[in-house]
Amino acid sequence: MTQGIERVVVPLDAATETSTAIDTAARLAALWRVPLHGVFIEDEELIGLAGLPFARQVTLGTGLEPLTKDHVEDQLHAFAERARRELGAVANRHDVKWSFEVARGPLAPDTLGGEHDFVVAGAATRPIGDHFRVSSRCWSWIAIIARPFLLARREWETGGSVVTLLRRGGPQSARTLDVAAQIAGFYSGTLTVAGTPDLAGSDDFAAWVSGLLEGHSVSLQTEFAAAEPAALRQRIIELDCRLLVLEASEKDAQPEELRELVEHLACDVLIIR
Amino acid sequence: MAATGHSITYRELGAGGAGLPATEPGRPLPPALLYRACDPAELPFELVGELEDPPGPIGQDRAVEAVEFAVAMRRKGYNVYALGAGGTGKHTVIRDLLNRRAESVPTPPDWCYVNNFADPQKPRRLQLPPGRGNGLREAMKRLVEELRAALPAAFERDDYRARRDVIDQQFKEQNEQAFGELQRRGEQKGISMLRTPMGLALAPRRDGKVLTPEMFEALPEAERERIQRDLEEVQGELETVMQKVPQWEREHREAVRELNRNTTGAAIGLMMDELRAGSCELPDVVQHLDAVEQDIKDNADDFLTPAQPPQGMPIPSPVEESMTEARFRRYQVNVIVDNGDQHGAPVIYEDNPTHQTLVGRVEYMARFGTLATDFNLLTPGALHRANGGYLMLDAQRLLAGNFGWASLKRSLNADEIRIETLDQLLSLASTVSLQPEPIPLDVKIVLLGPPMLYYLLSSADDDFKELFKIAADFDDRVERTPETTLLYARFIAGVVRREKLLPFDRSAVARTIEEAARFVGDADRLSAGLREIVDLLQEADQLAAGAGKATVTAAEVQKAIDAKFRRGDRIYRRLQEEIGRKTIRIETDGEQIGQVNGLSVMTLGGLSFGNPSRITARIRLGRGEVVDIEREVELGGPLHSKGVLILSGFLGGRFGSTRPLSLNASLVFEQSYGGVDGDSASAAELFALLSALADVPINQSFAVTGSVDQHGRIQAIGGVNEKIEGFFDACRITGFTGRQGVIIPASNVKHLMLRQDVVTAAAEERFRIFPIETVDQGLALLTSLPAGEPDQDGNYPAGTINHRIAARLDAFAAKAAELARNAAITQAHS
């Protein structure tokens, strides 16, 4: 799988907390020896809103103030520049080549690169008053971008294992497993592979998994994945999961279902399509 | 100048000098009056070590009484100025006296400086019982060390985390509930919340998309109005919620702060209670500990997180560690005065009394390119160390500069010690510095210095009179009695023991005592300049040891005396040689009109010696003026000029009442090219003048010393021993004739302690000392003619000196009158 990764791409915008995503992306890019690319997405909805005559924004510092296109443009430019500088600093720290662009408009499938790109995104918006966060747009991006998409929520130094949920057992699962094993090797080296009952229940599941992971330096364990989401979440927590790797196809695992599974977990989530 | 052993005749010791020969003016002094010996046989020991130390200082009762009074006096202003010449043992006497007194005085308290948490620029002082200062310092050090482990542990515990999580969760829920509720109401009205770069915005949606301006304009007006209305309503609510956020954040912070304070309080409470219990009888200390506890509660973070460097500044770990340690400096205790090992009151001598060494200083340390200070960098001065006791200071050094005197007075006047920089003292400070709380001062000051400085301060410095009411006047000599002689011997015994010298036998002690009389130039006194005596003892000891002797005798003492003179006599010997070579013309035989041998004393490098000078007088017709040539060329000092004016007064008084003094006379010290002062040569100058007036020669075998008053009485002078010996040595160089001698004031006889060789020569009638009381007695000796007594008409008998002087003056007067008449006639004709 990793042979096919040509870039690590980080979507950035003015609403999302991106520091963790940038750091995680830079480290993966360094480990895979591929360049890092940042895409600052200017929120077209916000720009559109600013065109309405009654548009306002409410801030903590100054209260209610007009929201004009010029204001929004200026602020987006400033944020884009800040994001560019941060990306560059982190990339340089990890000795990774990097590039940066600004995009506007609704997100298209190729806005965040091509099929050989690996996407790392921030999972939460910047809070208001240290607590309240509006919904992140990353879930809508997941629905559009049909390539590996990592939601970064935890600092790279945080300990924990990698847990993979497999459904199918075919090339998709193999690909998922390969990526999971790669990243598990970057972390602590502990990998738990949980398969759905009909997959994990087959006689050669463990051997099949082991065979696929030959050449990877990981500590492996296999088990059945709980069918009930609450039980599954509980098991994931028990495994001290640091990264949850999910295989999904374009036809299933819609963003809302994924969101329901993972939003009560604090771990990073990697969706492999 | 070899010592001649014991061939002199000793005077008997006894009260009032009983058994001494009488002094007869104009008659040579018997040898017994030339030197008052100390008879070794009368000393009650063989070796001086048999004697105990003297009970106190010798002959300083006045001074000791003054110091004891001052020390007992508890009122303000009774500090002491101990005045006296150097070497009189002032320092030792006073130090010993103070040390004895200090033993019975309570040990003073410890003093510490601690942080003033309300105003760190003004450190607070703490008074503790002696020895407890260090204990408090160590206890605070231990407290900080324990807290650095205990507080992080307290904040790591589950109960703290749980409470903290509860607080955080409460505020989170409060936030989310408010915004969430708003968000829901908005959603119900088709309005969604967007995160903008600066805050939040509300956007109308239709079919899941935010309305663009084009889409909005395409809507019916009523719909547009409704959307706008709904949006403004929700916006208003959003604004209200946003306005509450800072308040919620403040409440959150306060809740966390309160939790931290309570957690800290629980963690440190027991430790602080223990500290307070240990100092419960010291309310100031307890108050400080309360402040420490409060500060720790308010700044628990200092114990939880390492210090942060200035932004972007990489620092090495030792520096980071230093920065972390710096945060706890405010809990330290600076022990300024530690009297833990002190028994009784302190007795301190400060040998460099400047402003800073007296009142202490504020030190600074460099930190990241700037100078910083805090209460830990306050250092004590001598006043701190002596507080509650006694402080001895050298007066000359104190007044030499560096603001020591001003600071001392300020502290004594205010009864407190204020540590401040020189900048602050002089009001020059323009930067913020420390102003530590002053420490109450209770000290007795003893200044040690010369008499002149005492008199100067007494007359010119009002503060001095107020603050130093007691003068301890140390004499430079004591009366020579059998009692003081024995005390002196005991003093010598003490020095021998203390300095571990060879044993001194009684002959050595006797010789030393004689030399003590010679030091002050008085046979009836002994020097109180004990430093010179100690030097003599040490040098005699060295000579004896060098010669392999087991005991020091009079011979070694004499050798030490001779060696010291020799070390400094190069100039003296040169002068004597030049007299012998007649480069310096001193006549010690024959007669000369208007010329007499005068005597002066020169002091070079602590060595004094007599120097004969040829004094000449010339007279001529004039108006009665006596010209002092030394004064005319500014080589004569005021005292010398006074002497010349006095002899002029004598001349006028004796001869000027019945005739005008129509003469001018000039007096000079021949071959003298340095300054001359003092009136001890005024008698010699008068004799030269009278010889010139009478036209009668003076016997050059004599030298004369003495001061004369206007009535012709001869008065005492100083340095009589050196002057006699100076002429004696000159006669030896030029050749003794058996007729030579020195004429001295009769009132100086009691000062005679002449060298052995001079006394021996007098005993052998090779050299004589003649005392005189009047000018006429001197004239008779010098001219071998009677001076003459006036009759009731004021006329002197023919053949007398005075008759010849009067006749000469009459001749001058007649001549002057004749010249005046001729001049008048000439003028009249012209």
The answer to whether residue A250 neighbours chain B at the CB level (below 8 Å) is no
A55 is a domain residue: no
pLDDT, tens digit (0-9, with 9 covering 90-100), for A148-199: 899 998 888 877 889 998 877 778 888 888 888 888 888 877 898 888 777 7
Which of these is catalytic: B297, B723, B747, B750?
B723
Asked if pLDDT for residue B17 goes beyond 90, the answer is no
- B184 or B23: which carries more pLDDT confidence? B184
Enumerate the residues of chain B whose CB falls inside 8 A of the CB of residue A61.
198
The answer to whether residue B736 neighbours chain A at the CB level (below 8 Å) is no
Q: What is the pLDDT of residue B1?
A: 29
Cα torsion angle, B527, B530, B535, B538, sign: positive
A46 vs B196, B242, B249: nearest CB: B196
Contacts of B531 (CB under 8 A, 6+ apart): B86, B87, B88, B89
pLDDT, tens digit (0-9, with 9 covering 90-100), for B695-730: 999 999 999 999 999 999 999 999 999 999 999 999
What Rg do the C-alpha atoms of chain B give, in angstroms? 47
Q: What is the pLDDT of residue A251?
A: 55
Q: What is the pLDDT of residue B819?
A: 87
B722: tokens are: 């050196």
A68 is a domain residue: no
User: Largest Cα–Cα distance of chain A, in whole Å?
Assistant: 66
How many domains is chain A built from? 2
In this structure, the answer to whether residues A232 and A257 fall within a common structural domain is yes
The answer to whether the Cβ–Cβ distance between B198 and A72 falls below 8 Å is: no
Q: Which among A150, A180, A196 is the end of a domain?
A: A150
As a whole number of angstroms, the distance between CA A68 and CA A55 comes to: 7
Asked if pLDDT for residue B481 goes beyond 90, the answer is yes
Asked if pLDDT for residue A130 goes beyond 80, the answer is no
Nearest chain A Cα to B195, which residue?
A: A15
In this structure, the answer to whether residues A141 and A170 fall within a common structural domain is no
In this structure, the answer to whether residues A141 and A37 fall within a common structural domain is yes
Contacts of B742 (CB under 8 A, 6+ apart): B599, B702, B703, B704, B705, B723, B724, B727, B728, B768, B769, B770
The answer to whether the Cβ–Cβ distance between A125 and B195 falls below 8 Å is: yes
In this structure, the answer to whether residues A136 and A163 fall within a common structural domain is no
pLDDT, tens digit (0-9, with 9 covering 90-100), for B112-127: 999 999 999 999 999 9
**Residue B464 near residue B458, CB atoms below 8 Å:** yes
Residue keyed to tokens 């005197």: B405
User: Average of pLDDT values for A247-254?
Assistant: 63
Asked if pLDDT for residue B14 goes beyond 50, the answer is no
Q: What is the pLDDT of residue B651?
A: 86
Q: What is the pLDDT of residue B10?
A: 34
User: Average of pLDDT values for B457-468?
Assistant: 95
Q: Which among A101, A134, A150 is the end of a domain?
A: A150
**Residue A59 near residue B242, CB atoms below 8 Å:** yes
- B586 or B318: which carries more pLDDT confidence? B586
The answer to whether the Cβ–Cβ distance between A130 and B235 falls below 8 Å is: no
**Residue B762 near residue B29, CB atoms below 8 Å:** yes
The answer to whether the Cβ–Cβ distance between A52 and B248 falls below 8 Å is: no
A141 is a domain residue: yes
Enumerate the residues of chain B whose CB falls inside 8 A of the CB of residue A134.
183, 193-195, 200
pLDDT, tens digit (0-9, with 9 covering 90-100), for A46-78: 898 998 988 888 888 788 888 899 989 999 999
Q: What value, to the nearest 5°, has the Cα angle with vertex A246 and ends A241 and A249? A: 175
Please identify among residues 363-392 of chain B the ones whose CB lies closer than 8 Å to any CB of chain A.
none
**Residue B526 near residue B484, CB atoms below 8 Å:** yes
Asked if pLDDT for residue B792 goes beyond 90, the answer is no
The answer to whether the Cβ–Cβ distance between A48 and B213 falls below 8 Å is: yes
Strand A63-66 versus strand A190-195 pairing type = unpaired
Tell me the pLDDT of chain B averaged across its residues: 90
In this structure, the answer to whether residues A143 and A169 fall within a common structural domain is no
The answer to whether the Cβ–Cβ distance between A59 and B172 falls below 8 Å is: no
Residue keyed to tokens 């009411």: B469
Distance from CA of B147 to the nearest CA of A (A): 29
The answer to whether residue A3 neighbours chain B at the CB level (below 8 Å) is no
Q: What is the pLDDT of residue B39?
A: 93
Q: What is the pLDDT of residue B28?
A: 93
* Domain containing residue A118: CATH number: 3.40.50.620
User: Average of pLDDT values for A211-217?
Assistant: 82
As a whole number of angstroms, the distance between CA B105 and CA B538 comes to: 37
**Residue A164 near residue A187, CB atoms below 8 Å:** no
**Residue A179 near residue A171, CB atoms below 8 Å:** no
Q: What is the pLDDT of residue B447?
A: 97
As a whole number of angstroms, the distance between CA B262 and CA A210 comes to: 55
DSSP letter string over B237-269? Answer: HHHHHHHHHHHHHHHHHHHHHHHHHHHHHHHHH
Q: What range does the domain containing A121 cover? A: 7-46+73-150
In this structure, the answer to whether residues A139 and A236 fall within a common structural domain is no
The answer to whether residue B243 neighbours chain A at the CB level (below 8 Å) is yes
pLDDT, tens digit (0-9, with 9 covering 90-100), for B567-593: 999 999 999 999 999 999 999 999 999
The answer to whether the Cβ–Cβ distance between B245 and A128 falls below 8 Å is: yes
Q: Which among A115, A150, A185 is the end of a domain?
A: A150
Residue B757, classed as helix, strand or coil, is helix
Q: Label residue B401 left, alpha or beta by phi (over 0 means left) and psi (-120 to 50 means alpha).
A: left
B194 vs A63, A75, A134: nearest CB: A134
The answer to whether the Cβ–Cβ distance between B176 and A63 falls below 8 Å is: no
User: Average of pLDDT values for A211-230?
Assistant: 83
B171 vs A46, A72, A131: nearest CB: A131
As a whole number of angstroms, the distance between CA B17 and CA B36 comes to: 10
Distance from CA of A204 to the nearest CA of B (A): 45
Q: What is the pLDDT of residue B308?
A: 58
Q: What is the pLDDT of residue A141?
A: 82
Distance from CA of B175 to the nearest CA of A (A): 6
Q: How far is CA A31 from CA A26, A27, A177, B546, in A?
A: 9, 6, 18, 91
Query: pLDDT band at residue B631, thresholds of 50, 70 and 90?
Result: confident
Q: Determine phi and psi for B628, rounding to 5 degrees.
A: -95, 105
Q: Where are the beta strands (DSSP E) in B342-499?
A: 347-350, 361-362, 365-367, 370-372, 378-379, 390-394, 416-417, 439-440, 444-449, 470-473, 477-479
The answer to whether residue B165 neighbours chain A at the CB level (below 8 Å) is no
Within 10 Å of residue A11's Cβ, how many Cβ atoms? 27
As a whole number of angstroms, the distance between CA B522 and CA A210 comes to: 121
The answer to whether the Cβ–Cβ distance between A134 and B172 falls below 8 Å is: no
The answer to whether residue B245 neighbours chain A at the CB level (below 8 Å) is yes
Asked if pLDDT for residue A249 goes beyond 80, the answer is no
A90 is a domain residue: yes
Q: What is the pLDDT of residue B317?
A: 63
In this structure, the answer to whether residues A140 and A13 fall within a common structural domain is yes
Q: Determine phi and psi for B105, rounding to 5 degrees.
A: -95, 140
Least confident of B158-162, B197-201, B638-642, B680-684: B638-642
The answer to whether the Cβ–Cβ distance between B242 and A51 falls below 8 Å is: no
Which of these is catalytic: B680, B691, B701, B707?
B680
Question: Is residue B723 flagged as an active site residue?
Answer: yes
Asked if pLDDT for residue A255 goes beyond 70, the answer is no
Residue B128, CA atoms < 13 Å, CB-side half-sphere: 29
pTM (predicted TM-score): 0.72
Nearest chain B Cα to A52, which residue?
A: B213
**Residue B58 near residue B447, CB atoms below 8 Å:** no
A95 is a domain residue: yes
Asked if pLDDT for residue B643 goes beyond 60, the answer is yes
DSSP letter string over A120-153? Answer: EEE-SBPPBTTTB-PPPTHHHHHHH--S-EEEE-
The answer to whether residue B187 neighbours chain A at the CB level (below 8 Å) is no
In this structure, the answer to whether residues A36 and A127 fall within a common structural domain is yes
In this structure, the answer to whether residues A168 and A128 fall within a common structural domain is no
pLDDT, tens digit (0-9, with 9 covering 90-100), for B226-282: 999 999 899 999 999 988 888 998 999 999 999 999 999 999 999 999 999 999 899
As a whole number of angstroms, the distance between CA B742 and CA B744 comes to: 6
Within 10 Å of residue B352's Cβ, how many Cβ atoms? 15
| Interface contacts (A, B; CB < 8 Å) | 108
The answer to whether the Cβ–Cβ distance between B175 and A58 falls below 8 Å is: no
A67 is a domain residue: no
Query: pLDDT band at residue A264, thresholds of 50, 70 and 90?
Result: confident
As a whole number of angstroms, the distance between CA B251 and CA B264 comes to: 19
Query: pLDDT band at residue B95, thresholds of 50, 70 and 90?
Result: very high
Question: Is residue B815 flagged as an active site residue?
Answer: no
- B312 or A14: which carries more pLDDT confidence? A14
As a whole number of angstroms, the distance between CA A50 and CA A71 comes to: 8
The answer to whether residue A46 neighbours chain B at the CB level (below 8 Å) is yes
Q: Determine phi and psi for B224, rounding to 5 degrees.
A: -60, -45
Q: Determine phi and psi for A228, rounding to 5 degrees.
A: -80, 130
The answer to whether residue A106 neighbours chain B at the CB level (below 8 Å) is no
Q: What is the pLDDT of residue B479?
A: 93
Q: What percent of chain B has pLDDT over 70?
A: 95
A59 is a domain residue: no
As a whole number of angstroms, the distance between CA B240 and CA B243 comes to: 5
In this structure, the answer to whether residues A163 and A125 fall within a common structural domain is no
As a whole number of angstroms, the distance between CA B754 and CA B744 comes to: 13
In this structure, the answer to whether residues A128 and A219 fall within a common structural domain is no
Buried b (16+ CB within 10 A) or exposed e, A165-189: bbbebeebbbbbbbbbbbbbeebee
The answer to whether the Cβ–Cβ distance between A57 and B201 falls below 8 Å is: yes
Strand B707-708 versus strand B714-715 pairing type = antiparallel
Enumerate the residues of chain B whose CB falls inside 8 A of the CB of residue A102.
none
Q: Determine phi and psi for B560, rounding to 5 degrees.
A: -65, -40
A2 is a domain residue: no
Least confident of A1-10, B646-655, B767-776, B785-794: A1-10
The answer to whether residue B211 neighbours chain A at the CB level (below 8 Å) is yes
**Residue B167 near residue B259, CB atoms below 8 Å:** yes
Residue A25: name the closest of A80, A109, A100, A104 by CA.
A100
pLDDT, tens digit (0-9, with 9 covering 90-100), for B589-630: 999 999 999 999 998 888 899 999 999 999 988 887 777 777
Distance from CA of A265 to the nearest CA of B (A): 17
In this structure, the answer to whether residues A146 and A19 fall within a common structural domain is yes
Nearest chain A Cα to B193, which residue?
A: A134
Q: Where are the beta strands (DSSP E) in B559-606?
A: 591-593, 595-604
The answer to whether residue B235 neighbours chain A at the CB level (below 8 Å) is yes
Q: What percent of chain A has pLDDT over 90?
A: 29
